[in-house]
Amino acid sequence: MKTLAKLLLFIPLLFVHCDSGSGEEAEDTTNERRVRTVAVETLTMEEDTLEETIQVVGTVEAYNDATISAEVGGRVQYIAPLGRRVERGEVIARLDDRLLQAGYESARVNYELAVDTYNRQQALFADSIISELQYNSIRTQRDQAKAMYEQAQKQLQDTRIQAPFTGRIEERFAKNGELINPGMPVARLVNADRVNIVAGVPDRFASDVREGSVSTIFFTGTGTAPYTGKIGFAGNIIDPDTRTYRVEIEIPNPGGIIKPEMVADVHIVRRTVEKTFVIPRTALVRDEDGTNVFVARYEEDQPVAHLVPVRTGAASGLLIQITEGISRGDEVVVSGHRTLNQGDRLEILQNKSSVDNALTLRNQTLSR
């Protein structure tokens, strides 16, 4: 019985001891949560310049691209091979000209005879030997003969189809020995030393994007650096189906790497904002109250996370403008902020200037 009594006295003490241990553990956990430290990277805010751009899809068109047709009929005696580069004025196709050559010689003889007759009758008219009516009739015959001669000369010249500009034979629509009629296509001539990038800009940007606006053109898969050019043409007509207007940007293509009908990613500068603060888009923290960023504020020489509401403005690629909420010299958290809470201590692994960081991100975009 004495042994049982001692056990009954010991049990409450055991419970008291266990409860006391649980309280200490909870208190330790609370203390640990208060002093939680998170590793982050920050940017020190400095004033920068941001070019707000709009992104549209463009298509490549050759600067000169023409289907060359025959102006007279005849049998093809020669046509330039595919891939042949020809200079302006060079013969790209030649037709059998024997019939037209005979017509030309006949017209030439008739014209020379009409000129000789007119010259002789002119002296007779001056001496009033022939009437004015006869003189006018002879002059009319001369003019008609001249027109027929020039027509025959032009038709004979047209049997040699010449390149209207320097370019490359990309297609042939006739073969040697084939009989063709006037107006039939013979070859397609393309000059891609310079190309036009054609794109459609949404009509809501009509007041921002116009002739002279600067643009950057990217071609994925070509391995070429981005091209920079100005809009040379901005249309005044809105496509009712797409609600866009046509713009053209001419760029050089010295190696012929850019091919007609290729797709281009076109970034057009809409406006330039100076003396502003720029951060990466990924640094923003969005919640039901709006848009925020974490800023490192120092308390007893220790950086502590503070959630600060901000207002955003222009955007370009990976960057976005902050118009309200931060000041020059603020340290904005740009990495590690996804796990941050208000009041967490910060271990700043790296701090950079916001201007230097923006330059790095712009270069990454241009080198993609």
Higher per-residue pLDDT: 120 or 91:
91
Cα dihedral 290/295/298/299 (nearest 10): 30
Mean of the per-residue pLDDT values of the chain: 87
CATH of the domain at 296: 2.40.420.20
Among 246, 272, 298, give the residue marking a domain's end.
272
How far is residue 76's CA from residue 93's CA, in Å, rounded to a whole number?
Answer: 7
Binned at pLDDT 50, 70 and 90, residue 19 comes out as very low
**Contact partners, residue 13, CB within 8 Å, separation at least 6:** none
Q: Are residues 310 and 235 in the same domain?
A: no
The reported pLDDT for the residue numbered 17 is: 44
pLDDT range class, residue 35, cuts 50, 70, 90:
low
Asked if the structure places residue 326 within a domain, the reply is yes
Last residue of a domain, one of 116, 140, 158: 158
Residue among 266, 199, 267, 260 nearest 233 (CA)? 199
CA nearest to 317, candidates 270, 285, 351: 270
Residue 12 has pLDDT above 90, yes or no: no
Q: What residues make up the domain containing 214?
A: 55-63+192-272
One domain, residues 266 and 278: no
Q: Do 232 and 205 share a structural domain?
A: yes
On whether residue 358 sits in a domain, the answer given is yes
Could you tell me if 139 and 205 lie in one domain?
Answer: no
pLDDT at 92 over 70: yes
Are 98 and 156 a contacting pair, CB within 8 Å?
A: no
Residue in 53, 54, 56, 62 with CA at minimum distance from that of residue 262 = 62
Whether the per-residue pLDDT at 124 is higher than 50: the answer is yes
Is residue 22 scored above 70 in pLDDT?
no
Largest Cα separation within the chain, whole Å, is 174
Q: Is residue 345 part of a domain?
A: yes
pLDDT value of residue 225: 85
Q: Which of 111, 143, 158 is the last residue of a domain?
A: 158
Q: Are residues 305 and 338 in the same domain?
A: yes
What are the E-state strand segments in the chain? 37-44, 48-69, 74-79, 85-86, 91-95, 160-162, 167-172, 179-180, 185-202, 214-218, 227-239, 244-252, 263-280, 285-287, 290-299, 302-309, 311-316, 319-324, 331-335, 345-353
User: How many folded domains does the chain comprise?
Assistant: 3
Q: What is the pTM of this model?
A: 0.67
Same domain, 141 and 217: no
What pLDDT band is residue 39 in, cutting at 50, 70 and 90?
very high
Residues 258 and 293 in one domain: no
Query: What pLDDT sits at residue 120?
Result: 87
Model pLDDT for residues 162-175, shown as the tens digit of each residue: 999 999 999 999 99
What would the pLDDT profile of 257-315 be if each residue is shown by its tens digit?
Answer: 899 999 999 999 988 889 999 999 999 999 888 999 999 999 988 999 999 999 999 88
Average pLDDT over residues 238-250: 94
Instruction: Choose among 41, 3, 5: nearest CA to 303.
Output: 41
Q: Are 53 and 269 contacting, i.e. CB atoms less than 8 angstroms apart?
A: yes
Q: Residue 10's pLDDT is what?
A: 44
Q: Does 368 score more than 60 pLDDT?
A: no
Q: Are 248 and 231 in contact (CB under 8 A)?
A: yes
Average pLDDT over residues 7-32: 45
Q: CATH number of the domain that 236 lies in?
A: 2.40.30.170
Q: Are residues 223 and 286 in the same domain?
A: no
Looking at residue 34, its pLDDT comes to 56
- Beta-sheet pairing, 37-44 with 345-353: parallel
Residue 196 confidence (pLDDT) above 90: yes
Report the distance separating Cα 337 and Cα 331, nearest Å: 12
CB 233 within 8 A of CB 248: yes
In a domain, 212, yes or no: yes
Report the pLDDT value the prediction gives residue 220, as an integer from 0 to 100. 82
Read off the pLDDT of residues 350-361 as tens digits, 9 standing for 90 and up.
999 999 998 888
Using a pLDDT cut of 70, give the percent of the chain over it: 89
Residue 15 reports pLDDT greater than 80: no
Residue 221 clears pLDDT 90, i.e. is over it: no
Is residue 16 pLDDT above 50, yes or no? no
pLDDT at 5: 41
CATH number reported for the structural domain that contains residue 119 in this entry: 1.10.287.470
Identify the pLDDT of residue 142.
Answer: 92
d(CA 89, CA 91): 7
